[in-house]
A and B are shown apart, each in its own frame.
Chain A
Amino acid sequence: MKPSGWLELLIAAALVVLAAFVPMFANGYWLSIAVTGMMYIALSTSWALFSGPTHYISLATGAFFGVGGYMVGTMMSDYQLSFWVPLIVAPLVAAALALLIGIATLRLSGVYFVIFTLGLAEMIRNLISWIQNNFLGSRGLYVLTDFRDHHLYWMLLGVAGVIYLLGWIVNRSRIGFALRIIGNDETVARHVGINTATAKVIMFTTTGFFAALVGAIIAPRWSYIEPNQVFSPQLSFLVVIMALLGGAGRLWGPLVGVIPFTIIWEWVGVQFPNQSTLFLGLAFLLIVYVLPNGVVGRIEQLRDRIGEGRS
Chain B
Amino acid sequence: MIRRKMLGLAAAAVTASGLVFGAAAQAQDVIKLGAIAPKTGPLAGGAVVTQWPNVELWAKQVNARGGLDVGGKKMMIEVIEYDDKTNPGEHIKLAQRLAEQDKVDFVVAPYGTGFNIATAPIYGRYGYPMIAVSAITDKMDELTQRYPNLFFTLGTTTAFVEGVKEILVEQRDAGAIGNEVAMVNVADAFGIELADRARDIFGEAGFELVYDKSYPLGTPDLSPVMKGAKDSGAKAFVAWSYPPDSFGLAEQAIIEDLDVAVYYSAVATSFPAFGAAYGNKINNVLGAGGTNVDDPKVAEYRKAHEELTGKVADYWASANTYAALQILEQAIEGAGTLDRDTVTQYIKDNSFDTVMGSLSFENNVSHTFWSVGQWQDGVFRGVKGSNVDGAVPVRLKDGWAE
Contact = CB atoms under 8 A, between A and B. Distances in A.
Interface of A: 27-33, 36, 126, 129-130, 132-134, 137-142, 144, 148, 218, 221-229, 232, 266, 269-270, 273-274, 276
Contact of A222 (B40, B42, B88): B88
13 contacts: A29-B96, A129-B216, A129-B217, A132-B192, A133-B214, A139-B196, A222-B89, A222-B92, A226-B189, A228-B188, A228-B217, A229-B87, A274-B39
A129 B157 CA distance: 19
A130 to B, nearest CB: 7
Contacts of A139: 138-139, 157, 192-193, 196
Those 4 A-B pairs whose CB atoms lie nearest each other, nearest first = A29-B100, A224-B114, A224-B117, A273-B83
Contact of B90 (A28, A223, A269): A269
A28 B96 contact: yes
Interface in B185-200: 185, 187-190, 192-193, 195-196, 199
Contact of B188 (A28, A129, A222): A129
Interface string B212-231: 00101100000000000000
Nearest to B102: A29
Nearest to B86: A229
B128 to A, nearest CB: 13
Instruction: Sort chain B's interface into a size bin.
Output: 35 or more
Nearest to A230: B88
Nearest to A131: B187
Given A129-B188, A144-B146, A33 B118 contact: no
A31 B113 CA distance: 25
Contacts of A134: 214
A89 B402 CA distance: 56
Contacts of A218: 89
A140 B39 contact: no
A80 B214 CA distance: 26
A138 B188 contact: no
B118 A222 contact: yes
Interface string B97-123: 101110000000000011001101110
Contacts of A223: 114, 117-118, 120-121
Nearest to B139: A142
A271 B190 CA distance: 33
A274 B83 contact: yes
Nearest to B116: A224
B354 interface: no
Contacts of A270: 82, 97
Nearest to B82: A273
Contact of B96 (A32, A224, A276): A32
Nearest to B218: A228
A226 B188 CA distance: 7
B318 to A, nearest CB: 23
B137 interface: yes
Given A141-B189, A274-B39, 17 more contacts: A36-B89, A129-B188, A132-B192, A137-B199, A138-B189, A139-B139, A140-B137, A221-B118, A222-B92, A222-B118, A223-B120, A223-B121, A224-B117, A224-B118, A226-B189, A269-B85, A273-B83
Contacts of B97: 29, 270
